[in-house]
Every structure is written in C-alpha cells, then in structure tokens.
Structure 1
C-alpha cells in the first residue's frame, strides 16, 4: 500500500520541477546536486532533494532554492517562472552573461 502525501503548494511544486529539470538537463545526479549545494553553504542531503522531487514535501526553503540556483548557474527567478528570458531564452552564448536575466553569470568565490 503506497502512502498518500499532502499535495505540494503550487509555487513549491513548480520550483521543484524546474530544479529537477535543470538538474537533468545538465546531467547532474541528485547526489551530486546535494553535494554541490552543501559545498555552497546550505547543508543538503540526497534524500532531501529526492523527497522534494517526489512530492513528499509541501514547501521548499528559500535558502535551498537560492543555493540550487547558484549551483545550477541559473537566476533564482528562472526557478519561479515557466517563461524563459526573452533576450537569451535562458541560455546565453558560452562565456557570456545575459544582461536581461543574468543567466550565465559566474559566481566568484
């Protein structure tokens, strides 16, 4: 018998889906993303991300969203909106940063 979980909040569900989409698009495993998020300063376990992606958690912490965006190299806003940037479609040319949405920006340590 499978366990029923409360439905995710609509915004959280969209954010989690976009994080998972970017993760898969970049060929990053759940474990590798969790490790990179932890290295970014937000303690994160593989099971936490897996539980978010499977819908077991209704909400997602803002700090986790921020850390995931940093690791995935996407603007935080891209995780909240379906529509890609009208200037670069979310993918500026290699080595460039989109002035409209900030995609491609390299964070300095």
Structure 2
C-alpha cells in the first residue's frame, strides 16, 4: 500500500484519527494497544503511517479505530472546515482562526 496517493476523504480520516488520539492524550502505541484489544493487529509504525496519510485503512480497521476513539465513523470522515485547528482544538484551548473551543 506504500506510495499510493490517498483521496481527500482518506486524508481527512487520517487527520481526524490523529486529532481524536491526541484529544484522548494517547500515544500512537496506546492507540495500537486499543486496536489489538479489538482484534486488529497494528503496531505504532502502522498507526503513524495512517496518521501521515501514508497507509490506506481497511474497513475493519476504520470501524475499530472509531470504537477505540469513542466516536462514530462518520465523525472521522467529516470534512474539515478550519485548516488551523481542523475543527478540534486541544482541550482547554480556543482556535484563534475559527473560535472553536476544545
């Protein structure tokens, strides 16, 4: 799957996974551990490639990611309005560009 150009939707998904992981204050390894508990075997490097948009995500992986992150899969696919904070500023912060609070 390396070297494959991802679609805009896939890149949005990758960005959202990273945001939700960071909101939970999990490391990439922590997210990989949560996925293993759900039967998906991904290591930290695979999570990093997903977040960087360097790896496509299988449907079962997407479902388990949404479960692990505690959000509907549709939220991980929702287009980003604010390029500054990607509509999800860190907890306790307010985005200077859009005013969204974390």
Q: Do residues 30 (structure 1) and 31 (structure 2) align?
A: no
TM superposition score normalised by structure 2: 0.69
Q: How far off its partner does 1:6 sit? A: 4.4
Distance 1:54 1:44 in 2: 15
Alignment gaps of 5+ in structure 2:
81-102
- Cα deviations by residue, 1:9-64 (Å, 9 ceiling, x for unpaired): 2111111111111001110110000011011111111111111112222x211111
Q: Do residues 76 (structure 1) and 47 (structure 2) align?
A: no
Moved segments of 4+, more than 3 Å: none
Alignment gaps of 5+ in structure 1:
84-109
TM superposition score normalised by structure 1: 0.65
Q: Which residue of 1 aligns with 2:6?
A: 8
Tell me the C-alpha RMSD between the 2 structures.
2.5
How many correspondences in the alignment?
Answer: 82
